[in-house]
């Protein structure tokens, strides 16, 4: 007997009799022989629950989590402490095992939680509306650029080379088959993108910059927004670390029309890269071209406040090939976690935590510089920055890693011209002793 | 037997987060500051966003109360057709939460994440074996992104052949994501009408298939719950014109261990892990939509791919024909862990049993309901059965009313008004994890509702009455959208 399958032999027999079939296999008579497998499936198992635990513990033991090592990796996924209260409410069965809230009267919990998420996201990003979530920061950027193409009717976009390279690759996957041209804006020696490089704002649908960018540097977003708007283009602001907006100005307040990025930092474990949270916010005027689900407030027959999925005429199940996106299932539970995390911090907690993140990174930056390991770029940063390590550090990097100290991310993998450049991240989970250990290890 | 599963209990009203919050509270335990403060340059400083402030008690009570407003698989039968809401095993949550998985950074040097890479490689092999296809990518973030991956593979394949194509055949029973995904590749969706038996006829496909058409997207079993019995012949027709066959594997749960997709002629297939492999849906995700292909299409799969050399696992980007990346990192690993754990818990025999019982349960409902409701096709079904409101409409009662009334009996309604080919559709999928007595209660509820429709139709039109809220005004919500809470007082 398998514990997930409730049927007793007697029940199965009674049900077969009701259906008028004498054997379970006869239920599959409609499958023609030429469609059938020629041999049964060969799979491991079945494992008992105990055996499964042993097997999975064995696999998991061969991965080094940030909790067991000194890992200074950011680059799109950030180690942050998740309060138990946030983890606990996110694990409530009623949230975890519900479907998309198609029937609002039975789904008010999910719907109100997502409405709250949309509201907190809009406030955090400084824009008027936010959707119920996308898959991740990279696909959110791709969808933002497609939205800009729909809004402007122009079929080219400009993207800064300091936007996370993996985001740019996802954008390419979405844009290239549709024949949308991608123009790249190079970054300068300050580690940021010069708005003066944007010469063709009249021909493009949008300019996309990320702030803080992939090198950790804050971009001159306001200047990009101004240039884009002069040419009738949209300013798309990407991000991978939304905690920065607890300290620095939000993308919307700097003039961005769409803010899109990764929300994993907000109460979601890194999980080897996913599931994360695609955050997406825009102006109310553009809402009918927005991708993704939206929850709206309404009232019931008795006038009581309630929430429903709304503006679904944008979506694939109504509009099919004319939909604003093909997205259906998104990352709702992660959105709920992000809202719970933000509310757990609150306004002051968010500010304090953001400040602490920056201070840890600044401490590390100064400590390294004192050892002769200089920051690569002068632009201000949040909780990660790029440093130039001594030539030939690569070998030491691997040796240190095997001993449980991951000295950042070697940017040469993404930017061949940036040899010996390492992207280092420090957050509240790194204690001073961890930072000092890294400083001691990378001494030239 | 009393078919009313719903009981009136005490639930609580709960305000919005910012109505609950009080300035000065905090639910977070700030880490000790062990480094000095570095002043923020004035030009960069900004006021922090207006995030409500709650104590931990407030926060927990808020979300626990909200959770009690949801019906979920863990509380009741949830027979949403084509959404497949089966039981989500609890051990899988434990596995995904292991620190080695949950707290692993995606850019760890390969030497530090061998266990995760091995899991990915192993799950790819398991899904290849289950589907009968040759190569798998686990990167797509949900079914619709798996479809997009499939369409991008079509696009890349035809371009490689030197003959890009402009159209794609999409049956009228398809999920809405099918045409939307195809449109992202610039394909014009050409609808194919299903035949009188509710399945595709080879002649209809032959009439439409030409050398401008990239291929066909087939959901099998289809959204009427019927097996597309001509699929192999259709595949031959499409292949003869140089096209490819896309299988929407959303309904794979019906045919585990029985069908060989490769033999059928499917070139690309996506799977929805929450449907067939019991990962929780989370009230709208996260999901995962692995894409499986035949050997000749393997070079086009998303990158990076895990390769195994000399006893070690590595990421490889060395696939020049690849469609590229769909997610920043490697996919929804946390979801993959759960599906992997599920397959290992089941083994081949129990997975076959899953399909047997899913199909048995659906047919048991089909036979039990046809006395009161009009079946779309009165013949044996696979994992789901479709009815309409044709017999209730004369009483002024619609599918929506039936769905809302089911809530008062304590059942989540089935999928309604889909597939579009059945007016007033009620699409019911019980899944294998519902027991006979639960199905009997559901049948009793549906019979009682059919009687009410005849005798007291206002009971249906005024339903639901036992939920936290009565019917919600969706027209108002769309006409005057209120998508965020009021801005906080200055």
pLDDT at A45: 87
Q: How far is Cα A122 from Cα A142, in angstroms, rounded to an integer?
A: 19
- Ramachandran area for residue A130 (φ above 0: left; ψ -120 to 50: alpha; else beta): beta
A contacts of B150 (beta carbons < 8 Å)? none
B contacts of A99 (beta carbons < 8 Å)? 78, 80, 83, 85, 281, 283-284
CATH of B347-476, one of 3.90.1150.10, 3.20.20.110, 3.40.30.10, 3.40.120.10: 3.90.1150.10
Do B113 and A64 make contact, defined as CB atoms within 8 angstroms? yes
Tell which A residues from 55 to 74 touch B, by Cβ distance under 8 Å.
Answer: 55-69, 71, 73
Place of tokens 């209730």: B392
What mean pLDDT, rounded, does chain A reach?
A: 96
Do B60 and A89 make contact, defined as CB atoms within 8 angstroms? yes
Q: Which residues pair with A160 in a beta bridge?
A: A185
B interface mutation test: which of A95, A105, A368, A433 has the most B CBs within 10 A? A105
Judged by a CB distance cut-off of 8 A, whether residue B485 touches chain A is yes
- The model's pTM: 0.98
Instruction: Closest CB to A310: pick one of B350, B471, B478.
Output: B478
Q: Which CATH topology does A67-82+346-441 take?
A: 3.90.1150
CATH of domain B93-344: 3.40.640.10
Q: Using 50, 70 and 90 to split pLDDT, how confident is the model at A20?
A: very high
Q: How far is Cα A164 from Cα A305, in angstroms, rounded to an integer?
A: 41
At residue A442, does pLDDT exceed 90? no
Judged by a CB distance cut-off of 8 A, whether residue B483 touches chain A is yes
Q: What are phi and psi of A173, to 5 degrees?
A: -60, -40
Judged by a CB distance cut-off of 8 A, whether residue A413 touches chain B is no
Sign of CA dihedral A319, A321, A322, A324: positive
Fill in the DSSP letter of residue B457: H
For residue range A392-435, list pLDDT tens digits in order.
Answer: 899 999 999 999 999 999 999 999 999 999 999 999 999 999 99
| 3 state DSSP class of B448 | helix
Sign of CA dihedral A247, A248, A250, A253: positive
Do A304 and B94 make contact, defined as CB atoms within 8 angstroms? no
pLDDT at B8: 82
Judged by a CB distance cut-off of 8 A, whether residue B37 touches chain A is yes
A86, B77 Cβ separation under 8 angstroms: no
Judged by a CB distance cut-off of 8 A, whether residue A371 touches chain B is no
Q: Which residues pair with B305 in a beta bridge?
A: B316
Q: Strands A234-239 and A206-210: what pairing? A: parallel
A319, A311 Cβ separation under 8 angstroms: no
Sites in chain B below the pLDDT cut of 70: 487-490
pLDDT at B487: 65
Q: How many CA atoms lie within 13 A of B318 on its CB side?
A: 5
Judged by a CB distance cut-off of 8 A, whether residue B479 touches chain A is no
B355, B259 Cβ separation under 8 angstroms: no
A contacts of B55 (beta carbons < 8 Å)? none
B contacts of A398 (beta carbons < 8 Å)? 109, 111
Q: How far is residue B396 CA from its own chain's centroid?
A: 33
Judged by a CB distance cut-off of 8 A, whether residue B375 touches chain A is no
| Furthest CA-CA distance within chain A | 82
Instruction: Closest CB to A310: pick one of B98, B177, B481.
Output: B481
CATH of A84-341, one of 3.40.640.10, 3.90.25.10, 3.40.50.150, 1.10.3210.50: 3.40.640.10
B contacts of A331 (beta carbons < 8 Å)? 141, 282, 284-286
Delimit the CATH 3.40.640.10 region(s) of chain B: 93-344
First to last CA, chain A: 63
Spans of all domains in chain A: 67-82+346-441, 84-341
Judged by a CB distance cut-off of 8 A, whether residue B102 touches chain A is yes
Do A11 and B436 make contact, defined as CB atoms within 8 angstroms? yes
Tell which B residues from 215 to 254 touch A, by Cβ distance under 8 Å.
Answer: 226-227, 229, 231-232
Nearest Cα of chain B lies from the Cα of A279 at a distance, in angstroms, of 14
Q: How far is Cα A332 from Cα A111, in angstroms, rounded to an integer?
A: 10
Q: How far is residue B16 CA from its own chain's centroid?
A: 29
The interface predicted TM-score of the complex, written ipTM, equals 0.98
B contacts of A359 (beta carbons < 8 Å)? 33, 35-38
For residue range A80-129, list pLDDT tens digits in order.
Answer: 999 999 999 999 999 999 999 999 999 999 999 999 999 999 999 999 99
Q: How far is Cα A133 from Cα A332, in angstroms, rounded to an integer?
A: 6
Instruction: Closest CB to B483: pick one of A101, A296, A312.
Output: A296
Q: How far is Cα B369 from Cα A18, in angstroms, rounded to an integer?
A: 12
Q: Which residues pair with A386 in a beta bridge?
A: A423
**Which residue in chain A has the smallest CA separation from B12?**
A109
A interface mutation test: which of B139, B284, B357 has the most A CBs within 10 A? B284
At residue A59, does pLDDT exceed 50? yes
Delimit the CATH 3.90.1150.10 region(s) of chain B: 347-476
Place of tokens 């510089």: A369
Q: Which residues pair with A156 in a beta bridge?
A: A181
For residue range A297-354, list pLDDT tens digits in order.
Answer: 999 999 999 999 999 888 888 788 888 888 898 999 999 999 999 999 999 999 999 9
Judged by a CB distance cut-off of 8 A, whether residue B94 touches chain A is yes
Judged by a CB distance cut-off of 8 A, whether residue A299 touches chain B is yes
pLDDT at A260: 98
| 3 state DSSP class of A188 | coil
Judged by a CB distance cut-off of 8 A, whether residue A297 touches chain B is yes
Instruction: Closest CB to A97: pick one of B36, B51, B72.
Output: B72
Fill in the DSSP letter of residue A248: B
- Spatial CB neighbours of A323, under 8 Å, sequence gap ≥ 6: A314, A315, A316, B176, B180, B183
Q: How far is Cα A133 from Cα A114, in angstroms, rounded to an integer?
A: 9
A contacts of B180 (beta carbons < 8 Å)? 316, 319-321, 323, 325-326
Tell which A residues from 133 to 192 touch B, by Cβ distance under 8 Å.
Answer: 133, 135-139, 164, 166-167, 169-170, 172-174, 176-179
Where are the alpha helices (H) located in B68-142, listed in sequence order?
Answer: 90-96, 99-102, 114-131
- Among A174, A122, A159, smallest CA distance to A235 is for A159
Q: How far is Cα A216 from Cα A361, in angstroms, rounded to an integer?
A: 10
pLDDT at B490: 44
- Spatial CB neighbours of A283, under 8 Å, sequence gap ≥ 6: A127, A128, A129, A257
At residue A444, does pLDDT exceed 80? no
Q: Which residues pair with A405 in a beta bridge?
A: A70
């Amino acid at each position: 007997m398998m514990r997930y399958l409730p049927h007793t032999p007697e029940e199965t027999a009674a049900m077969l009799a009701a259906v008028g079939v004498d054997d379970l296999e006869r239920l599959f008579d409609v499958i023609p022989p030429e469609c059938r497998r020629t041999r049964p499936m060969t799979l491991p198992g079945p494992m008992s629950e105990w055996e499964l635990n042993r097997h999975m513990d064995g696999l998991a033991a061969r991965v080094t989590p940030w909790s067991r090592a000194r890992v200074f990796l950011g680059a799109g996924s950030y180690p942050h402490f998740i309060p138990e209260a946030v983890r606990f409410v996110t694990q409530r069965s009623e949230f975890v095992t519900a479907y998309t809230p198609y029937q609002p009267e039975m789904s008010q919990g999910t719907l109100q939680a997502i409405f709250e998420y949309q509201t907190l996201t809009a406030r955090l990003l400084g824009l008027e509306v936010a959707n119920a979530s996308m898959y991740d920061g990279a696909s959110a950027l791709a969808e933002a650029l497609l939205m800009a193409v729909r809004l402007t009717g122009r079929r080219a976009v400009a993207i800064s080379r300091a936007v996370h390279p993996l985001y740019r690759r996802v954008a390419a996957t979405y844009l290239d088959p549709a024949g949308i041209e991608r123009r790249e804006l190079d970054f300068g020696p300050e580690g940021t993108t010069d708005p003066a490089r944007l010469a063709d704002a009249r021909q493009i649908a949008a300019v996309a910059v990320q702030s803080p960018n992939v090198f950790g540097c804050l971009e001159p977003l306001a200047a990009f927004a101004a240039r884009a708007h002069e040419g009738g283009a949209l300013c798309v602001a990407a991000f991978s670390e939304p905690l920065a907006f607890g300290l620095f100005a939000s993308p919307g307040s700097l003039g961005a029309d769409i803010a899109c990025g990764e929300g994993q930092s907000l109460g979601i474990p890194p999980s080897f890269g996913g599931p994360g949270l695609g955050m997406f916010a825009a102006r109310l005027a553009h809402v009918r071209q927005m991708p993704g689900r939206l929850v709206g407030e309404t009232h019931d027959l008795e006038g009581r406040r309630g929430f429903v999925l709304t503006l679904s005429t944008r979506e694939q199940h109504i509009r099919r090939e004319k939909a604003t996106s093909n997205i259906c299932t998104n990352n709702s539970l992660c959105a709920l976690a992000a809202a719970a995390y933000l509310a757990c911090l609150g306004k002051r907690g968010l500010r304090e935590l953001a400040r602490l993140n920056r201070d840890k990174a600044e401490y590390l930056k100064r400590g390294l510089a004192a050892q002769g390991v200089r920051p690569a770029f002068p632009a201000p940063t949040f909780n990660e920055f790029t440093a130039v390590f001594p030539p030939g550090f690569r070998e030491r990097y691997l040796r240190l890693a095997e001993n449980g100290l991951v000295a950042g991310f070697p940017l040469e993998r993404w930017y061949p011209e940036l040899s010996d450049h390492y992207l280092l991240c420090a957050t509240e989970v790194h204690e001073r002793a961890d930072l000092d250990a890294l400083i001691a290890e990378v001494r030239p | 037997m009393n078919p009313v599963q719903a009981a009136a209990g005490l639930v609580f009203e709960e305000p919005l987060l910012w109505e609950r919050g009080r300035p000065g509270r905090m639910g977070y335990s700030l880490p000790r500051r062990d480094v000095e403060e570095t002043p923020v340059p004035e030009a960069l400083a900004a006021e922090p966003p207006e995030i409500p402030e709650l104590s931990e008690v407030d926060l927990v009570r808020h979300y626990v109360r909200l959770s009690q407003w949801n019906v979920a698989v863990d509380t009741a039968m949830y027979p949403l057709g084509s959404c497949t809401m089966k039981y989500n095993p609890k051990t899988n949550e434990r596995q995904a939460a292991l620190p080695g998985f949950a707290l692993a950074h995606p850019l760890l040097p390969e030497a530090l994440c061998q266990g995760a890479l091995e899991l990915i490689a192993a799950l790819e092999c398991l899904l290849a074996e289950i589907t009968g296809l040759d190569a798998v990518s686990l990167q797509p973030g949900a079914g619709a992104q798996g479809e997009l991956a499939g369409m991008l593979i079509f696009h890349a394949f035809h371009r490689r052949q030197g003959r890009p194509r402009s159209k794609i055949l999409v049956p009228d029973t398809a999920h809405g994501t099918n045409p939307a995904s195809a449109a992202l590749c610039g394909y014009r969706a050409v609808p194919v009408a299903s035949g009188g038996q509710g399945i595709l006829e080879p002649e209809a496909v032959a009439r439409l298939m030409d050398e401008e058409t990239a291929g066909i997207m087939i959901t099998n079993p289809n959204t009427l719950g019927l097996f597309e019995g001509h699929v192999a012949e259709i595949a031959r027709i499409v292949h003869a014109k140089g096209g490819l066959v896309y299988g929407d594997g959303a309904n794979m749960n019906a045919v585990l261990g029985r069908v060989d997709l490769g033999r059928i002629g499917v070139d690309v297939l996506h799977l929805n892990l929450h449907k067939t492999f019991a990962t929780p849906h989370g009230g709208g995700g996260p999901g995962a939509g692995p894409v499986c292909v035949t050997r000749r299409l393997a070079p086009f799969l998303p990158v990076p791919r895990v390769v195994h050399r000399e006893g070690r696992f590595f990421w490889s980007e060395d696939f020049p024909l690849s469609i590229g990346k769909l997610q920043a990192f490697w996919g929804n690993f946390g979801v993959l862990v759960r599906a992997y754990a599920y397959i290992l818990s089941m083994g081949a025999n129990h997975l076959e049993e899953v399909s047997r019982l899913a199909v048995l349960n659906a047919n048991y409902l089909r036979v039990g309901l046809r006395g009161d409701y009009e079946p779309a096709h009165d013949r044996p079904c696979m994992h789901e059965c479709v009815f309409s409101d044709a017999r209730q409409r004369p009483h002024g009662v619609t599918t929506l009313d039936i769905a809302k009334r089911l809530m008062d009996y304590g059942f989540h309604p089935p999928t309604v008004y889909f597939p579009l080919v059945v007016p007033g559709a009620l699409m019911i999928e019980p899944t294998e994890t519902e027991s006979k007595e639960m199905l009997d209660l559901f049948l009793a509820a549906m019979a009682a509702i059919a009687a009410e429709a005849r005798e007291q139709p206002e009971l249906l039109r005024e339903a639901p009455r036992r939920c936290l809220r009565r019917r919600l005004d969706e027209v108002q919500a769309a006409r005057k959208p209120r998508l965020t809470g009021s801005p906080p007082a200055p």
